[in-house]
């Protein structure tokens, strides 16, 4: 018998045994779902890689057939029940881990976000928490205003010259400049560039667009790391943007460690950087094994990506709805006058979050922009979870997609409608709708940058609506609609975009 036939028989036997095990003896064998999904990851591969970020809609379809709990691939269960959310994304008292395979796709080894076990997560996060507390963000709000002033100047100029403005680039420029300034102590000046530097998101978009491919083929991360930059640029321009961004952050990590070794001479450059997160997490109070350039690069990169993309997209979605709904705009402006008597008033997040209609606008902005659209699965290594009649054994992977909760019509009637008043109505009835606003996740891994995101959303949307009349330019709902899931929602074609013309500068 030739070697080929022997190998074929071996492969066939292996596949038969593996399939029988997955279908009948696997700990998740009794969870409902299509047999094909239980048999092979090819099911997910088809929807996410071949069709491009479409598995989320297949999961939605499968829930309609099989009910609220389904096995979506050989090793993962998806539950669609808002009341079960806190069981999955629980507090520290119940041990939850992340999945090393899902985490590997982002190439952020050693960062807080990529921590698998709670012990390593706590050790890394504890040094960041104080920078993102409500008080710390309130003290940092001037960074938001400084960037916003640049956007305002740009919009006033666009009004005079009848220029079209890419609001989405402006928002990405703002969130990027703020988080870079805060994390690395320098301002990359995205907002100082023509058109707000449309390339600012290239690196992040490259990473997000490749999310599914990297999940199935994580070794591609290493190959990209080995390729000389020139070659990478020829093969894949966005991957090149990502690689250069990481190299820059690596150099910043090295420089921070060097500064620490030399105990920072008080020169001008150093005092500019004072307070930067990077200097704090490379300083003497941090355990030695966390102070490597590689880790600092990845921690920095995770802050830069998380701090830019999600909030910028939410701002663009919020702006889209505000510009399409005159009645909402009018009510909002009326309310804003109470804390912004003149359009130029420098308003604070603390003042704005007390306004019920403005809060409803921000909540609807978050709800309809989803934030993170992909599954962020958890593992309970020692706990058996029970969902209705189903048992999820220790070590299994389970998740719950945010989008389904945010668009659940039993919680948010007419879920596709941007309706700030639904929050006011709910509050009047004593309903806690905010329990279901799960954009930032919950429990021990709740979003680190939540307060920064809120401050940016409140201050930016309020200021722009109070100061400008705008009309959408060649922008329809298709430009912001969630059609494809690449970690964050993407429209069917290209990237989310919102373009406007400024039709008036408000003076009273
Ligand atoms: C609308 C804006 C935002 C949304 C919807 C959002 C959403 C989320 C979600 C769902 C998680 C949990 C991820 C997981 O469990 O794997 C998360 C984690 C995280 N977010 Fe955000 N985020 C936003 C803004 C920000 C900002 C402005 C920063 C700035 C630093 C940030 C930094 C992080 C970090 C570092 C983590 C990892 C936390 C950990 O694992 O302990 N996020 N975010």
- Give per-residue pLDDT as tens, 420-478: 999 999 999 999 999 999 999 999 999 999 999 999 999 999 999 999 999 999 999 99
**φ/ψ (deg, to 5) at 32:** -65, 160
CB proximity list for 182: less than 8 A, separation 6 or greater:
131, 140, 143, 276, 277, 307, 452
- For ligand 1, pick from 108, 368, 449 the residue to mutate: most ligand atoms within 8 Å of CB: 449
Residue 44 lies in a domain: no
Query: Apex CA 363: angle with CA 361 and CA 367, to 5°?
Result: 115
Strand partners, 484: 490
Residue 343 maps to a domain: yes
Is residue 264 domain-resident?
A: yes
The predicted structure's pLDDT at residue 436: 98
Q: Is there a contact between 499 and 474 (Cβ–Cβ < 8 Å)? A: yes
* 271 pLDDT more than 50: no
Assigned domain for 9 exists = no
Mutate which of 447, 450, 485, 487 to test ligand 1's pocket (most atoms within 8 Å of Cβ)?
A: 447
* CATH at 284: 1.10.630.10
Total of domains in the chain:
1
DSSP E strands, 143-255 = 164-166
3-state secondary structure of 405: helix
Taking the C-alpha atoms of residue 445 and residue 447, their distance in angstroms, rounded to an integer, is: 6
pLDDT single digits (tens) 98-127 = 999 999 888 899 999 999 999 999 999 999
CB distance 317 to ligand 1 below 6 Å? no
> Tokens 């690596």 — which residue?
250
What are the pLDDT digits (tens) for 322-375?
A: 999 999 999 999 999 999 999 999 999 999 999 999 999 999 999 999 999 999
Q: Which residues have a Cβ under 8 Å from the Cβ of 193 and sit 6 or more positions away?
A: 173
265 pLDDT more than 70: no
pLDDT given for residue 238 in this prediction = 78
State residue 223's pLDDT score. 84
463 compared with 222, residue with greater pLDDT: 463
Please check whether residue 15 lies inside any domain of the structure: no
For ligand 1, atom 20, the nearest C-alpha belongs to 447
> pLDDT (tens digit, 9 = 90+) per residue, 9-56?
999 999 999 999 999 999 999 999 999 999 999 999 999 999 999 999
107 in a domain, yes or no?
yes
| The predicted structure's pLDDT at residue 262 | 78
Mean pLDDT, residues 220-232: 84
Judge if the beta carbon of residue 376 lies within 6 A of ligand 1: yes
**Residue 410 is assigned to a structural domain of this protein:** yes
For residue 272, the model assigns a pLDDT of 44
DSSP string, 425-488: HHHHTT--GGGG--TT--GGG--TTHHHHHHHHHHHHHHHHHHEEEEESS--GGGT---EEESE
What integer pLDDT is reported at residue 389 of this predicted model?
94
Residue 333 lies in a domain: yes
Using the predicted structure, report yes or no on whether residue 266 has a pLDDT greater than 80.
Answer: no
pLDDT tens for each residue of 148-178? 999 999 999 999 999 999 999 999 999 999 9
Which structural domain range is residue 425 located in?
75-505
Does residue 333 contact residue 420 with C-beta atoms inside 8 Å? no
Six-digit token string for 434: 């905010």
Closest CA to ligand 1's atom 23: 310
Name the residue at shortest CA distance from atom 11 of ligand 1.
Answer: 447
pLDDT at res. 166: 95
């Amino acid at each position: 018998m030739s070697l080929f036939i022997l190998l074929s028989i071996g492969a066939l036997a292996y596949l038969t045994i593996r399939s029988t095990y997955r279908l009948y003896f696997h700990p998740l064998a009794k969870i409902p779902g299509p047999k094909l999904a239980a048999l092979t990851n090819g099911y997910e591969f088809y929807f996410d890689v071949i069709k491009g970020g479409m598995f989320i809609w297949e999961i939605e379809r499968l829930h309609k057939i099989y009910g609220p709990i389904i096995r979506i691939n050989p090793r993962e269960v998806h539950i669609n029940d808002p009341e079960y959310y806190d069981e999955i994304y629980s507090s520290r008292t119940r041990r939850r881990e992340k999945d090393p395979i899902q985490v590997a796709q982002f190439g952020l080894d050693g960062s807080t976000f990529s921590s698998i076990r709670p012990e390593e997560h706590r050790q890394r996060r504890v040094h960041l928490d104080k920078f993102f507390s409500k008080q710390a963000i309130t003290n940092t709000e001037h960074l938001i205003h400084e960037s916003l002033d640049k956007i305002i100047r740009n919009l006033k100029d666009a009004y005079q010259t009848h220029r079209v403005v890419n609001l989405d680039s402006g928002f990405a420029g703002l969130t990027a400049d703020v988080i870079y300034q805060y994390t690395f102590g320098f301002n990359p000046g995205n907002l100082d560039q023509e058109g707000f530097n449309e390339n600012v998101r290239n690196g992040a978009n490259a990473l997000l667009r490749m999310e599914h491919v990297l999940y199935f083929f994580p070794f591609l991360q290493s190959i990209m790391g080995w390729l000389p930059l020139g070659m990478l640029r020829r093969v894949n321009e966005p991957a090149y943007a990502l690689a250069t961004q990481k190299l820059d952050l690596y150099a910043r990590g090295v420089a921070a460690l060097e500064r620490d070794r030399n105990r920072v001479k008080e020169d001008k450059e150093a005092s500019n950087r004072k307070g930067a997160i990077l200097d704090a997490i490379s300083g003497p109070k941090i355990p030695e094994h966390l102070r490597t350039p590689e880790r600092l690069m990845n921690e920095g990169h995770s802050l830069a990506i998380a701090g830019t993309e999600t909030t910028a997209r939410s701002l663009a979605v919020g702006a889209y709805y505000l510009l399409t709904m005159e009645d909402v705009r009018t009510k909002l402006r009326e309310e804003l006058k109470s804390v912004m008597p003149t359009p130029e008033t420098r308003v604070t997040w603390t003042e704005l979050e007390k306004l019920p209609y403005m809060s409803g606008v921000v909540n609807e902005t978050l709800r309809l922009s989803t934030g993170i659209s992909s599954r962020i699965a958890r593992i309970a290594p020692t706990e058996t979870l029970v969902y209705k009649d189903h048992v999820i054994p220790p070590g299994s992977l389970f998740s719950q997609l945010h989008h389904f909760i945010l668009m659940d019509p039993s919680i948010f009637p007419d879920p596709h409608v941007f309706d700030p008043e639904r929050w006011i109505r709910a509050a009047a009835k004593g309903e806690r709708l905010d329990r279901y606003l799960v954009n930032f996740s919950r429990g021990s891994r709740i979003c680190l940058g939540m307060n920064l995101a809120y401050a940016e959303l409140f201050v930016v949307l309020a200021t722009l609506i109070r100061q400008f009349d705008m009309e959408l330019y060649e922008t329809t709902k298709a430009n912001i609609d969630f059609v494809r899931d690449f970690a964050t929602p993407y429209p069917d074609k290209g990237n989310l975009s919102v373009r406007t013309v400024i039709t008036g500068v408000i003076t009273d």
